[in-house]
């Protein structure tokens, strides 16, 4: 479908001394003809993606903190309202969701291999097992804690390449009436927003209701609900149960029909997407070269994983964008993988007083615009999805 060339592991921010050893792979996606699952052609070993120096912090924005507190409260009021409930989160990161569950005194366990991040979760009172979730880990959890009423994942289920082990693990651990709920980037959003920068090594799968339904059936589950989540530009939350346990909500049929109508498993749709992505690259490079030649200054705003994809695919280095600012302390002082743009703290943005800001963290635009009103009055924002715009 789309080849984004040689790319690094997107959240493997690195020091200058480590450039020579940097891991690279071919970032390209394709679709399975039988189940329509869109996925990476080449995947990066999980130990390279999630390690002790993993830099992503799920609590990095007020929007995320509010969202996950709301998700936790909803689960507490519904699926976790019975006697002595138990919830397991796959990839709990810094505890942004489980913190609310822990404070409510409900039995819980986060499973996450990135120790530096899970330390933050522990500080918030969250129980964590440092491991990759899979069938044998699930057996161990069940033996120690019993079956789970809820297995939850947010921006983690699509990260797991080994779907067999993941779904067998869910089968082992989930109680007979339990739910497996996960919210993940949506292929429909990636295509409608031209959000090609959502494609990076951590996102192994790009779900649709149709491909998730096929996945569920293959492992003895049923897709019973879908809902929209506002994070990362617009995601879908999927709910799976064991077959026949709940009547599927009308939203499932509606989303499946919408996907058929939009051609989300149709090669023509992907060809159009690939053409539009190539145009974004050409337009963005032309603009940045123009600005440099005219002596204008450009600073990158935010260094999410997406930054690696867009800068490496377009060939944007420090000669066009001398640095990016990001509020995550763990990223500051390091370089964006592959393109090696230095990451500095947000104060550097004010000090540099640039003419233009290239908005890499575009999914946080509202929060950032509210914070950067002074810049907006004199400087200009550059956006590149769904197309290149200055304003």
Q: Binding residues for ligand TMP, per CB under 6 A? A: 60-61, 232, 302-305, 326-328, 361, 363-364, 367-368, 371
Which residues does residue 382 pair with via DSSP β-bridges, in sequence order? 358, 390
- Give the nearer residue to ligand TMP in terms of CB position, either 80 or 343: 343
Q: Could you tell me the end-to-end alpha-carbon distance of the chain, in angstroms, rounded to an integer?
A: 31
- What are 173's two structure tokens? 């651990």
- Residue with smallest beta-carbon separation from ligand TMP: 304
Please say which residue, 252 or 368, places its beta carbon nearer to ligand TMP. Answer: 368
Residue 36 in 3-state DSSP? coil
Residue nearer to ligand TMP on the CB measure, 60 or 134: 60
Q: Quick one: 203 or 364, whose CB is closer to ligand TMP?
A: 364
In angstroms, the CA 123 to CA 93 distance is 12
Q: Which is nearer to ligand TMP, 49 or 242 (CB)?
A: 49
Least distance (Å) from ligand TMP to the CB of residue 324?
8
Choice between 134 and 342, CB closer to ligand TMP: 342
For residue 149, the minimal CB distance to ligand TMP (Å) is: 28
Instruction: Give the DSSP letter of residue 374.
Output: H
CB of 253 to ligand TMP, least distance (A): 31
Closer by beta carbon to ligand TMP, 60 or else 91? 60
Beta carbon nearer to ligand TMP, 79 or 94: 94
CB of 294 to ligand TMP, least distance (A): 27
Residue 345 to residue 349: CA distance in whole angstroms? 8
Q: What are the beta bridge partners of residue 152?
A: 89, 181
DSSP letter, residue 197: G
Output the six-digit token pair for 326: 């990001």
Q: What number of CA atoms fall less than 13 Å from residue 272's CA on the CB side? A: 13
Label each residue of 113-175 as H, E or C. Answer: CCHHHHHHHHHCCCCEECCCCCHHHHHHHHHHHCCEEEEEEECCHHHCCCHHHHHHHHHHHEE
In the complex, least distance from residue 70 CB atom to ligand TMP, rounded to whole angstroms: 16
Spatial separation of the C-alpha atoms in residues 375 and 238, rounded to whole Å: 39
**Pairs from 262-270 (Cβ < 8 Å, separation ≥ 24):** 262/188, 262/191, 264/36, 264/187, 264/188, 264/191, 264/208, 264/210, 265/31, 265/36, 265/208, 265/210, 265/211, 267/1, 267/31, 269/191, 270/1, 270/2, 270/31
């Amino acid at each position: 479908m789309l080849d984004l060339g040689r790319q690094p592991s997107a959240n493997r921010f690195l020091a200058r001394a480590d450039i020579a050893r940097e891991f690279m792979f071919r970032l390209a996606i394709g679709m399975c003809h039988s189940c329509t699952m869109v996925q990476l052609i080449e995947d990066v070993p999980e130990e390279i993606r999630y390690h002790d120096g993993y830099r992503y912090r799920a609590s990095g924005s007020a929007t995320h903190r509010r969202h996950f507190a709301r998700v936790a409260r909803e689960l507490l009021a519904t699926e976790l309202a019975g006697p002595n409930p138990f919830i397991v989160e796959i990839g709990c990161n810094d505890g942004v969701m489980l913190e609310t569950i822990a404070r409510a005194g409900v039995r819980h366990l986060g499973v996450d291999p990135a120790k530096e991040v899970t330390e933050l979760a522990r500080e918030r009172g969250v129980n964590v097992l440092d491991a990759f979730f899979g069938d044998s880990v699930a057996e161990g959890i069940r033996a120690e804690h019993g079956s789970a009423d809820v297995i939850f994942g947010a921006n983690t289920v699509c990260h797991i390449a080994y779907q067999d082990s993941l779904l067998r693990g869910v089968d082992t651990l989930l109680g007979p009436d339990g739910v497996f709920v996960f919210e993940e980037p949506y292929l429909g959003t990636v295509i409608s927003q031209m959000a090609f920068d959502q494609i990076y090594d951590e996102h192994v799968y790009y779900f649709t209701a149709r491909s998730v339904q096929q996945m569920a059936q293959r492992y003895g589950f049923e897709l019973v609900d879908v809902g929209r989540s506002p994070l990362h530009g617009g995601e879908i939350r999927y709910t799976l149960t064991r077959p026949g346990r709940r009547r599927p909500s009308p939203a499932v049929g509606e989303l499946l029909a919408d996907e058929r109508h939009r051609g989300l498993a149709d090669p023509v749709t992907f060809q159009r997407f690939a053409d539009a992505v190539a145009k974004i690259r050409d337009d963005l490079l032309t603009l940045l070269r123009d600005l440099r030649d005219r002596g204008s200054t450009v600073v990158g705003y935010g260094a999410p994983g997406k930054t690696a994809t867009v800068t490496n695919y377009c060939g944007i280095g420090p000669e066009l964008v001398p640095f990016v600012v990001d509020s995550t302390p763990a990223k500051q002082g390091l370089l964006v993988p592959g393109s090696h743009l230095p990451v500095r703290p947000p104060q550097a943005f004010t000090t540099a007083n640039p003419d233009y800001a290239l908005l890499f963290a575009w999914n946080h635009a509202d929060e950032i615009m509210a914070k950067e009103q002074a810049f907006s009055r004199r400087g200009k924002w550059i956006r590149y999805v769904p197309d290149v715009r200055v304003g």
